[in-house]
Structure 1
């Protein structure tokens, strides 16, 4: 465990709520310079270098009398402040692991903006052909017409891979969705994530990290649609003959299902499971004006519901330790730095300016992001043509 003794950093806690949903003001992005972002000159004496989170083990910098983080069994975990992005504590935060359905958070970040919720779509004969064996399903059927918002309920509540496949097809196709997700991850500074199957289905080489998943959860909570979907407990999904049937969120910390006690103040985000990834969870909770995010990846003991109990312990610790620990890093540490002045990058192409990953060049990421941006425009025009009226976002 890494323990530091730097001076206290006071962070004002503020959460703006609209209809009970979290909205967060944009945080200035910073390049990976090796120092904490947001400080004058790019450094701040009281904050550690982000590289600390790349070291193995548990990292926390408590003040005297601060509680110690719980001893949980997950291979990797992180506790962060959703507003400031400060990481309060972490264990192997950048360890690359299969994310299971928590990767759907990135899918939603990449695809939500290009598909208006009110668009209706009739599922074609080949749109469900490649859904992986053993996938979680919400019950999308060929020939049935769904609103895009219905499909998003299927994604967030039932973790439906069938709904992901249809939404991916609507947004330009499976490969286009993966490319858009990859570009979005790089733009957010989530450099551990490699996307091959947008639904989170176990695929060789598909990995993410507790750090990256916390980045995705934080970005999602700034989007009112994402925040509403991920915090929905129950909804109705279209069924046969014009009817519908109830679906319930599989995040048991939110619902209290299967004997798991619901967490007071929980507002989302997404759980997942595969035989390869084990149980994974990104959870956000708000108390007394402060919103915390935790990611828990693959607990090694305690059974199938351990992921919820370990997340509960980490959230409890985070709320108890807030203001009594100094950050060990930032969720903004690796984000794109937006240029200012006459040479500022236009918002539509900002995703192409990223911090390059090791072994990859700027040109490849820029090409992916540019293709994703053009694809989004093409999808918008195509849907406008289908409905015959302007699209609403």
Structure 2
């Protein structure tokens, strides 16, 4: 029969054997501001999972713009999906209002733009303090197209919340947005609020935002709204005349109408998140997408986007792609390679579960603590083994055995 000392040695040997397996267990997800764990190939290509600038110039290729301060950026061809250059494109950062691109991509196809909706009090309550608003009033009717102009031009969180309630409520919309992100293989994105308002755990990446924009631009209404520079928005009813007024709204995208060929897409800014911007432009039959996240100043997000668009158009055909924007996954039951599937591509890594809605209190999960479930199990085993060892040693001293 083995002695206590031998049993103790066997226990530690067992822990040592399973420790590497547990620490390598899947499910660990990077915290905001960190790249995703490299347990599998990065979505879009191995080089897109590397840190720093990735570019493969050929003869005659122009140099990348100098003094780029964005923590993360990517230049891609919206048609082919080729990534021409990138820097930390999978870095998970707060998206601010650029998350409204995913909101529009999810909800926009559901409602006729000529439909009319009467706004209730509930639909415009619970909006985050300091949110950008288009100025929607309760008990008034709005056409769906007016609400979308409020989303795209004024980045109105009130317009987002009204449309989300029309879609079944904020929690339902958050769930659908997360499902849409998963279908687009946007594995860096975790949705907590539909409007991009700063919320604990809400992150996306330059790569994912480019996926959302590429998908959205295939919808003619999305393309129309994001390219609209100004519009009239329905106002309140005049108490004296009984007539309903209107007021002008302008697109907050500072490049729209200034950068040649700019289609638009979406800008974002919050105090906590910093600046984010996704811009698309057309030139000589080519459409390029540029996403810049978190440069050093608000204005730089526009300056650096314009500089990267200039570079992209000049570099087209003179650089080897360093990756690609992946296609949407096929619907369940559709053979791989059809309906936008990527034939022969490996299955993407698992994504953290979607939250139930912005009202839920933040919870600590395996993806938040940095160790992952396997890491915590390993720690528990080590502690258990240490405790058992201490007990054996105490008994050993007492008995002299």
Q: TM tier, shorter chain?
A: 0.7 to 0.9
CA distance in 1, matches of 2:106, 2:286: 26
Aligned partners of 2:187 and 2:351 also within 8 Å:
no
State how 1:262-301 maps to structure 2 within 5 Å: 262-300=258-296
Q: Gaps (5+ residues) in structure 1?
A: 1-32, 37-48, 256-261, 348-353, 369-393
Aligned partners of 1:67 and 1:321 also within 8 Å:
yes
CA distance in 2, matches of 1:187, 1:60: 28
CA distance in 2, matches of 1:116, 1:215: 24
Match of 1:251 among 250, 253, 258: 253
Number of residue-to-residue matches in the alignment: 305
Instruction: Mark the structure with the bigger radius of gyration.
Output: 2
Deviation (angstroms), 1:337: 4.5
Query: Which residue in the other structure is 2:320 paired with?
Result: 326
For residues 206-265 of structure 1, the C-alpha deviation after alignment (integer angstroms, 9 at most, x for no partner) is: 00000000111111110001000000001110001211111000001004xxxxxx1011
Give yes or no for the alignment of 1:215 onto 2:211. yes
The structure-2 alpha-carbon separation of the partners of 1:240 and 1:103, relative to structure 1 and needing over 3 Å to count, comes to same
CA distance in 2, matches of 1:222, 1:306: 28
Query: Which residue in the other structure is 2:88 paired with?
Result: 92
For residues 259-284 of structure 1, the C-alpha deviation after alignment (integer angstroms, 9 at most, x for no partner) is: xxx10110111000001111110000
Q: Secondary structure at the match of 1:240?
A: strand
For residues 316-372 of structure 1, the C-alpha deviation after alignment (integer angstroms, 9 at most, x for no partner) is: 000000000011111016x4146888x78998xxxxxx9554465xxx68xx9xxxx
CA distance in 1, matches of 2:198, 2:336: 39
State how 1:181-196 maps to structure 2 within 5 Å: 181-196=177-192
Query: Which residue in the other structure is 1:102 paired with?
Result: 98
Match of 1:178 among 164, 174, 177: 174
Q: Secondary structure at the match of 2:171?
A: helix
CA distance in 2, matches of 1:245, 1:189: 40
Deviation (angstroms), 1:127: 1.0
For residues 130-183 of structure 1, the C-alpha deviation after alignment (integer angstroms, 9 at most, x for no partner) is: 110000000011111101110000000000000000000000100111111101
TM-score, with length taken from structure 1: 0.73
CA distance in 2, matches of 1:143, 1:52: 53
Aligned partners of 1:339 and 1:345 also within 8 Å:
no
CA distance in 2, matches of 1:173, 1:57: 40
Give yes or no for the alignment of 1:304 onto 2:298. yes
CA distance in 1, matches of 2:330, 2:101: 23
Aligned partners of 1:125 and 1:143 also within 8 Å:
yes
Match of 1:316 among 285, 307, 310: 310
CA distance in 1, matches of 2:182, 2:64: 30
State how 1:102-251 maps to structure 2 within 5 Å: 102-241=98-237, 242-251=244-253
CA distance in 2, matches of 1:337, 1:137: 36
CA distance in 2, matches of 1:171, 1:306: 36
Deviation (angstroms), 1:67: 1.1
Aligned partners of 1:103 and 1:198 also within 8 Å:
yes
Q: Secondary structure at the match of 1:96?
A: coil
The structure-2 alpha-carbon separation of the partners of 1:65 and 1:227, relative to structure 1 and needing over 3 Å to count, comes to same
Deviation (angstroms), 1:106: 0.1
Aligned partners of 2:95 and 2:273 also within 8 Å:
yes
The structure-2 alpha-carbon separation of the partners of 1:180 and 1:136, relative to structure 1 and needing over 3 Å to count, comes to same
Deviation (angstroms), 1:119: 1.3
Query: Which residue in the other structure is 1:60 paired with?
Result: 55
Aligned partners of 2:70 and 2:293 also within 8 Å:
yes
State how 1:342-353 maps to structure 2 within 5 Å: none
Aligned partners of 1:109 and 1:220 also within 8 Å:
yes
